[in-house]
Amino acid sequence: MASRGFRVHRFLRSCDWIRLRPNLNRGFSSDAVPSQLERVGFIGLGNMGYHMAKNLITAGYKVTVHDIVDRQIKTWILMISSNDNTMKKFSEKGVPTKETPCQVAESSDVIITMLPTSSNVLDVYFGQNGLIESQNHLSPWLFIDSSTVDPQTSRKISMSISKCHLKEKKGYVEKPIMLDAPVSGGVPAAEAGTLTFMVGGLEAAYLAAEPLLLAMGKRTIYCGGSGNGAAAKICNNLAMAISMIGVSEAFALGQNLGIRASTLTNIFNSSSARCWSSDTYNPVPGVMPGVPSSRNYDGGFASKLMAKDLGLAITSAAEVGLESPLTSKAHNIYKRLCEKGYDSKDFSCVFRHYYSGKDEN
């Protein structure tokens, strides 16, 4: 353990990465940004990535952005208003934008990807004009994927990156490194800069990248080797989905038995049934302000993404020979919601659109 700790410390000192963590007001100058993390390429400017990139800019990082929407359906983008063009929002504020992931990599020390699906991630890394398409020598020394993907995808990309070389040696880093670092907290936490990062990969790289992650979040948790961050996120979302379904079913049953949802909420939150789905993200419209159920389930975490993540959990469980009957049932419920047209509604809509629960009056 001592020799391992020494190697980590030497790795950090050699690259001048031992600096103060970002303070909470997020208004500091670029002098507080570690030099080897300064130039950040951010790919994926959806509901989460847009706010994460903005927080990095506020923290003093030199950010270059690219959005896969512009890449994949550029013709369609030209037909919509400029207010909806996320890339244009950044360029109008003086933030460099690039047409391809490859172009982003050319001017970056670190790459962060925040994309909807495993196929999107693989395309950005290995597709035409991708980050490592037919390239043996790369400019970025660190790649961080914050997408929710299966552990196998994370490990495949990490292995491919480890076989590449750097155009310029960075301290003791001789080859590029990848971290899988999915997040928890949703859009509100992305906007507020209070995300939790679950990180897998080389521990020394995790420690070096921590200041960067804390410019977008409030907590980082090291989960172990490559793919373990992705595995942790899948397990988290599995538990979250089953919890939301269980709470919704209980509320629906209570309503049918003549108990108001607000009354049950008070009971749940002061007893053994208390959980995030009851005390923070209540699915019953009219019980809790500021959550998706209070605005017709708009915003938040889409049901189609929950269905996707549950599918990843089922695949992962099958690969290790684990029976997962509750995961399979939850997956079927969310697939049905998507088939009924509620794919873009927040996943808490299971209360209304699966159990036919009623609003609190």
Catalytic positions, written as ranges = 233
What's the burial of 246, exposed, middle or buried (CB within 10 Å: 0-12/13-18/19+)? middle
Q: What is the DSSP letter of 173?
A: B
Taking a C-beta distance cutoff of 8 angstroms, is the pair 43, 115 a contact? Answer: yes
Give the Cα separation of 57 and 162 in Å (integer): 28
Other beta carbons within 10 Å of 53: 28
Counts of helices then strands in the chain (DSSP H, E):
16, 10
- The residue behind tokens 């970025």 is 140
Q: Which two tokens stand for residue 344?
A: 């873009």
Run of H or E including 76: helix 74-77
Please enumerate in sequence order all residues whose Cβ is within 8 A of that of 184, keeping only pairs 6 or more positions apart, or say none. 195, 196, 198, 233, 236
Taking a C-beta distance cutoff of 8 angstroms, is the pair 52, 74 a contact? Answer: no
Q: Which two tokens stand for residue 256?
A: 């049918």
Taking a C-beta distance cutoff of 8 angstroms, is the pair 57, 49 a contact? Answer: no
3-state secondary structure of 282: coil
Alpha helices by DSSP H, the chain = 2-14, 49-58, 68-72, 74-77, 86-91, 101-106, 118-126, 151-162, 186-192, 203-214, 228-256, 261-268, 276-279, 303-319, 325-337, 350-353
Give the Cα separation of 78 and 87 in Å (integer): 12
> In the chain, what is the straight-line distance between the N-terminal and C-terminal CA atoms, in Å?
60
3-state secondary structure of 18: coil
For 164, phi then psi, to 5°, come to -90, 175
- Sequence-distant contacts of 71-78: CB under 8 A, at least 24 apart: 71/99, 71/100, 71/101
Residues making up the chain, counted from first to last? 361
